A = this chain, B = another copy of it.
Amino acid sequence: MRDQSLRIVLSSTRKFINMGALSRLWNLVKNFHAADISSLMSHLVFRERLILFNILFEKDMEKTGEVLSELEAEDAAPIIQELQLNQITELFHIIPSDDAAPILELLPENMKESILAAMEEKPSEDVKELLHYEEETAGRIMSPDFYALDHNTNVSDAITAMQLERDVESAFYLYTVDEKNRLVGVVSLRQLLFARPNTKLKDIMTKDLITVHPETDQEVVARNVAHYNLVAIPVVDAENTLVGVVTVDDVIDVIEEEATEDIYKMASLDTTDRIQDSPFKSIKKRIPFLMFSLLTASLAPLVVHYFEGTIEQFIKLVVFLPLVMALGGVAGNQTIAIIVREIAIGQAEWVGARKALMKEIIVGIGNGIIIGALLGGFSYLIVNNPYLGLILGLAIIINLFVAALVGTLIPLVLKLLKLDPALGSVNLLTMCTDSVGALTFLGLGTLFLDKL
């Protein structure tokens, strides 16, 4: 839905809700795609969401399930809490278990248990199984519904068998298993369509499979799907038994989530901070990062404090100090962004770490010489003091060298320590460049004080 039409739909929705014109509301939304209804809901307040959800539930249960699947679990859970137990189980039987599990997990413990008890055995087991895996792993995002048949089945039997199955999410591939139920191959529906009816699956299947385990980090799953251009990736346990399938639509969500996380972490933000959150909620989420910044930003003032005597004797130093600090910060940020992103998209293996460091250092010194010479020359023209120009230029060169050095090392060392390379790295960098900037500039100033 385009911005323009969303605005119109949103205001009509609100009007109908306030007027209590529920059948007009239903007529407005009934032909919308579930993904659009879900977007629309995210712009409504909770009371309005509930009214819209109820009219959907009353009119079209199937569509309500689709909308529920599209909603973020955090948005879906409070709505579910307002429903009757039998309504909830009805919905949870419709939606895929990998969408039901994260919602269920956000509900109060006793409610969660009564729902699982009230559900039919198979879907209930599926959901429990998923909840069993850790967050952000393949196990959490996989669907336990898939087509799998013995590799000795022939094509026409396979087609008949699949027709009897209920609708499954990953409908592009048929997986094949051996006598011991181990995954041995995959047949695309296209291969199935074009094969002779009496051909055995094992004669047309692709055997060279890329698989992941339920414990595999979801980022690695996404990497594999993107790297090998897959539409679905099978998830197998230690015995190579197929336990689920991760489809490309879930992978896209992971990729977007991870990119947002990198941007947020580099900008000192909690990854759950959203534009729709209440101000109070956002303040609570941002204060810890500001506290940490307060801490890292306190080193530079100590350096400046140490050089108070020098500053008192030549006050001009203070005017140029913010420039030395700012440029070190910008140059260091360039380096950090490159390293963090290349780590994220899997380019920067330790194979290349030393090479990357050498390169960034050369870039830092090179940029330092250019910007340092420029700024030094400029300041000479303004203040007409060659020594001020000289120490300013030198301070920039040294600070850009340090920016390159720590900008490369911080994310790599954080990764080596199995910490997040993006988280806090910009703060640590600024701490270094601000302090080293002050130290070299004011230090050189002290050294040449009689010439200034």
Q: Which of B277, B290, B323, B351 contacts A294 (CB 8 A)?
A: B323
- Is the beta-carbon distance between A282 and B363 smaller than 8 angstroms? yes
CB neighbours of A282 from chain B (8 A): 359, 363
CB neighbours of A275 from chain B (8 A): 338-339, 342, 347-348, 352, 356, 359
CB neighbours of A304 from chain B (8 A): 318-319, 322
Given contacts A231-B172, A304-B322, contact A267 B334 (CB under 8 A): yes
Measured CA separation A279–B359 after assembly (Å): 6
How many A residues touch B, CB cutoff 8 Å?
A: 115
- Is the beta-carbon distance between A294 and B375 smaller than 8 angstroms? yes
- Is the beta-carbon distance between B308 and A319 smaller than 8 angstroms? yes
CB distance from A248 to the nearest CB of B (A): 5
Measured CA separation A171–B194 after assembly (Å): 12
Is A297 close to B, CB under 8 A?
A: yes
Measured CA separation A300–B304 after assembly (Å): 17
Is A325 close to B, CB under 8 A?
A: yes
- In chain A between 235 and 273, which residues have their CB closer than 8 angstroms to a CB of chain B? 248-249, 251-253, 255-256, 259-260, 262-264, 266-269, 273
Copy number in the complex reads 2
Is A118 close to B, CB under 8 A?
A: no
- In chain A between 8 and 36, which residues have their CB closer than 8 angstroms to a CB of chain B? 10, 33, 35-36
CB distance from A353 to the nearest CB of B (A): 10
Q: Which of B226, B315, B351 contacts A7 (CB 8 A)?
A: B351
CB neighbours of A263 from chain B (8 A): 259, 262-263, 266, 337, 340-341
Greatest chain B CB density within 10 A among A226, A251, A341 is at A341
CB neighbours of A322 from chain B (8 A): 297, 300-301, 304, 321-322, 325, 434, 438
A320-339 to B contact mask, C-beta < 8 Å, 1/0: 11110111001101101111
Is A193 close to B, CB under 8 A?
A: yes
CB neighbours of A311 from chain B (8 A): 311, 315, 318
Measured CA separation A269–B36 after assembly (Å): 35
Is A430 close to B, CB under 8 A?
A: yes
Is A47 close to B, CB under 8 A?
A: no
CB distance from A280 to the nearest CB of B (A): 8
Residue of B nearest to A42 (CB): B347
CB neighbours of A229 from chain B (8 A): 35, 249
Greatest chain B CB density within 10 A among A171, A190, A430 is at A190
- Is the beta-carbon distance between B326 and A430 smaller than 8 angstroms? yes
- In chain A between 390 and 417, which residues have their CB closer than 8 angstroms to a CB of chain B? none
Q: Which of B35, B362, B430 contacts A279 (CB 8 A)?
A: B362
Measured CA separation A262–B261 after assembly (Å): 12
User: Top 4 closest A-B pairs, CB basis?
Assistant: A259-B259, A267-B337, A297-B326, A279-B362
CB neighbours of A6 from chain B (8 A): 349, 351
Q: Which of B301, B333, B351 contacts A10 (CB 8 A)?
A: B351
CB neighbours of A43 from chain B (8 A): 351-352
CB neighbours of A208 from chain B (8 A): 33
A-B contact pairs, 30 of them (CB 8 A): A43-B352, A159-B193, A159-B194, A172-B189, A189-B193, A225-B252, A226-B256, A231-B248, A273-B334, A275-B339, A275-B359, A279-B363, A286-B331, A286-B363, A289-B330, A290-B371, A291-B371, A293-B326, A293-B327, A293-B330, A294-B374, A297-B323, A301-B319, A311-B311, A311-B315, A311-B318, A312-B312, A312-B315, A318-B318, A321-B322
